[in-house]
Chain A
Amino acid sequence: MALPITACGYSWTHADRDEPAVGPLDLQIAAGERVLLLGASGAGKSTFLHAVAGVLPEESGEPAGELLVGGEAPDPRRGSTGLVLQDPDSQVIFSRIGDDVAFGMENLGLPAEVVEARIPSSLRALGLDLPPEHPSAALSGGQKQRLALAGIHAMAPDVIVLDEPTANIDPASATEVRDAVLTVQAETTATMLVVEHRVELWIDHVDQVIVLGRDGIVAQGPPGQLFTDPELTDTLIDCGIWMPQDSPAPRRGGLSAPPPPRSAAHQVGPLSGSPIEGGRSGRLGEVLLRTDQLSAARPRMRTPAASDLSLSLRSGQALGLVGANGAGKSTTALTLAGLLPEFSGQVLAEAALREGAKRTRPFAWPSKQLAARIGMVFQEPAHQFLTSSVAAELELGPRLAGWSAAEAQARVAELLGGLGLTRLAHAHPQSLSGGEKRRLSVAAMLAPRPRVLIVDEPTFGQDALTWAGLVEMFRDALDYGSAVVAVSHDHSFLEAIGADLLELGDRSSAERVADCQPDDRVSAGDRSE
């Protein structure tokens, strides 16, 4: 039976901050309602979800006001809520998928026969046609997310709480995972609360949309009403909401960044009514990086994750590495960045990129030479932070590259402003929200202006405003003559920076493309049109 959620002046404050992370909120969610929760990056959407699920660690902050699920304070031990988080790797509990699905049911104290019977049906309902003994470590990111959903499906909870369930998943699988979520909701008739940046993915499948701002609820209502109300459009855009395609155009042009062009293939559109900027093909310069029959693999693997890549990367060129989860995109990016040795074939730096480095293979360069020439943004931003404040983090690269103090300061100020991080200049990098960390890690790599920039999912977790800021930074880098290689599921982003696309993993389709449309091959480095 579904349960209603009510909040009355509810807020929650991190132990080490003065302002509340979320709230104060007043809201009513009816039993069985499907709610999409939106809001700016850092507005406390995840915190609110965790509060509803009752899993906020007591020692790390202070709640105020009242939050009730089914008339009682949230307590996960009641067994009425099911929670799915955004990171697929951190929520696999057991090493075999059958055990993982059974985990929630065992906690609920269901008899062994019921548990046994529900495992295969829940796996099937989520499209995981695998035996229960299948090792969970052998699943892809999208499959892991479905596994977590299968666990919730089996528990048949009264409230389903989902924190960006499709964030780490390629666009094709995202639709499938969404449908899987809707299946679970339909079968359990549970109240559903979902946080997602991809508005268009969910908008036709929810009853209500709630928009969170830094001081509580900004807007609330059925999606049809909310996104067609011209009064609200400016407010929503100011919150960085990704407006659906058919929503009214903003009344004023207050945005500094030009709205990016949309991609027909990708459902999520950025700001509507935007002029499409022309291609960047006129600005291509000399070749910086070349690969010859490159195969890339993680250390000690016997089979390459991606193979036979021959491409050349020119100054001012953007290259998008796309493909399904597990197609070897990240591994290829790390190999191009000179951080992993080539499995076979070679990555070669041309003279324009070498600039005095003796070796031609970036992997052979010492760390200091590498950092000055090739910047790499990792998938997990927290891995890259080395200093104790946001400003120092941005200053590190230029300082190591030998910039003068004044130049470095000016660059730091420019990046802080461009990415909306100025108010966080003195915060510790590890204390930022997911979207803020992502922006900082990109900015720290952009700071010393390396000739080649390799980025892994740079737009992850961004709202429409910070997204536009990132696009602007990359366009600036391209204009400056850097080359950009971006691993991304975000086709709008790749289109906005004018990237050539290279699809990895699907061997047959890659060959088909190569056979039919020779002009689309990236190996030539530019497009003639």
Chain B
Amino acid sequence: MTVSVPVIAVSESLDQRTRPSPEVSVQDPGQLIPVVRSTAVARCNPLTKIGVALILMFGTLLSIDLVSAGVVLLASLLALPATGLDLAAAARRLWFLPAGALLAAWGTALLAEKTGDVVVEFGPLLFTTGSLSAAAAIFVRALALAIPLIVLASTIDPRDLADALVQHLRLPEVVVVSVLAASRLLGLLVSEWQVLSMARRARGVAGGSLVRRTNSLFSGVFVLLVVSIRRATTLAMAMEGRSFGRPGRTWRRRSTFGFRDLVVVVSAVSVCVFAIGAAHLFGVWNPIIG
């Protein structure tokens, strides 16, 4: 580690301490990728966002070819700035996605049907134009599927989603609110496990032979279970203690659809139509069914 890093870190922490003003927007530590600007797309109804992701997924999945997936990927990439996400943070945290897609493509190139001309032949490696174009299609498809889902996961506020699910889809509110509250506890599980690992190390039962490691792992899992159940019980008590479960619950926020929701859905549908049309036009349409 260079010397400058801790120095920067210290000055940052000092900054935070001297400016606790409410105007500074504080980020939710649980968010996948921080939203830095509130854009029209980010303000869309959560159901719209889910709809758009499903539409784009439909357009990508229908056919294994480079063109249709490429069009969807290109459109998604072009639309990224409109989502208001912190793109630098996205690149830092999600570098493994292109890497994973590349791995999938490598596997496809190795195993796909060897049609067309031979491009590379080196020992057991045999790549043909056919297998390479299949690999390229898999790579682009994987990314085209992933990007809308990441935007979805990062820009949807769970509370907004709950509002929409109850008010528009008429899902039972006790279930929705319970799942919503419980989902907050999921994040705590990770940190609980870290503490448990430290606690086992502090008591001298971490490490050692494989048998001992397994034993201590099981006792750790048991404690995690106990602690989680206790936390969930406490949360349930706290919720009941504030009259949760009483009939006639109101919702302070009305979940609405606006003009922007229509625009976003229509754009997504046109991207899909264009993608499918282009694939047919180039004669590479390769449907997965039929």
Contact = CB atoms under 8 A, between A and B. Distances in A.
Interface of A: 50, 53-55, 57, 76-79, 81-85, 87, 89-96, 99, 102-112, 115-116, 129-131, 133-135, 137-138, 148, 151-152, 155, 161, 295, 299, 302-304, 307, 334, 337, 339-340, 343-344, 366-368, 370-372, 374-376, 378, 380, 382-386, 396-397, 400-401, 430, 444-445, 507
B249 interface: yes
Contacts of A112: 250-254
Contacts of B188: 89
Most buried by A among B14, B26, B181, B188: B26
Interface in B186-232: 188, 192, 194-196, 198-208, 216, 219, 223, 226-227, 230-231
Interface in B223-247: 223, 226-227, 230-231, 233-247
A272 B208 CA distance: 50
Given A95-B30, A384-B202, A54 B184 contact: no
Given A295-B6, A304-B10, A137 B230 contact: no
Contacts of B250: 105-106, 109-112, 115
B1 interface: yes
Interface in B1-27: 1, 6, 9-10, 12-14, 16-17, 22, 25-27
By secondary structure, the B interface counts as: helix
Contacts of B216: 386
A92 B237 contact: no
B159 A91 contact: no
Contact of B237 (A55, A334, A383): A55
Given A83-B237, A370-B202, A376-B199, 18 more contacts: A55-B240, A78-B246, A89-B231, A95-B30, A108-B246, A112-B250, A135-B27, A138-B26, A152-B242, A303-B9, A337-B202, A367-B205, A367-B206, A383-B227, A384-B203, A397-B203, A400-B204, A400-B205
Contacts of B258: none
B180 A94 contact: yes
A161 B241 CA distance: 9
A401 B13 CA distance: 41
Contacts of A111: 250
Given A85-B237, A93-B235, A367 B159 contact: no
A103 B9 contact: no
A327 to B, nearest CB: 10
Interface in B147-204: 157-159, 180-181, 184, 188, 192, 194-196, 198-204
6 contacts: A55-B241, A83-B242, A93-B184, A99-B252, A366-B207, A367-B206
B226 A382 contact: yes
Contacts of A444: 203
B231 to A, nearest CB: 5
B123 interface: no
B11 to A, nearest CB: 9
A151 B29 CA distance: 23
B238 A367 contact: no
B200 A386 contact: yes
A400 B258 CA distance: 66
Size range of the interface on B? Answer: 35 or more
B248 interface: yes
A107 B9 contact: no
A383 B195 CA distance: 7
A299 B243 CA distance: 38
Contacts of A382: 223, 226-227, 230
Contacts of B121: none
Contacts of B180: 94
B247 to A, nearest CB: 8
B184 A95 contact: yes
B28 to A, nearest CB: 4
Contact of A370 (B9, B201, B223, B239): B201
Contacts of B181: 93-94
Nearest to A376: B202
Contacts of B158: 95
A371 B203 contact: yes
Nearest to A87: B234
A84 B238 CA distance: 7
B2 to A, nearest CB: 11
Contacts of A57: 233
Nearest to B183: A95
Contacts of B241: 53, 55, 76, 81-85, 161
Nearest to A371: B204
A303 B12 contact: yes
Given A134-B22, A368-B207, A85 B238 contact: yes
B22 A135 contact: no
Contacts of A507: 14, 17
Contact of A383 (B25, B196, B233): B196
Contacts of A115: 250, 252
B249 A344 contact: no
Nearest to A111: B250
B30 A137 contact: yes
A367 B207 contact: yes
A367 B233 contact: no
B235 to A, nearest CB: 5
A378 B216 CA distance: 18
Given A131-B22, A304-B13, A138 B29 contact: yes
A106 B249 contact: yes
A194 to B, nearest CB: 14
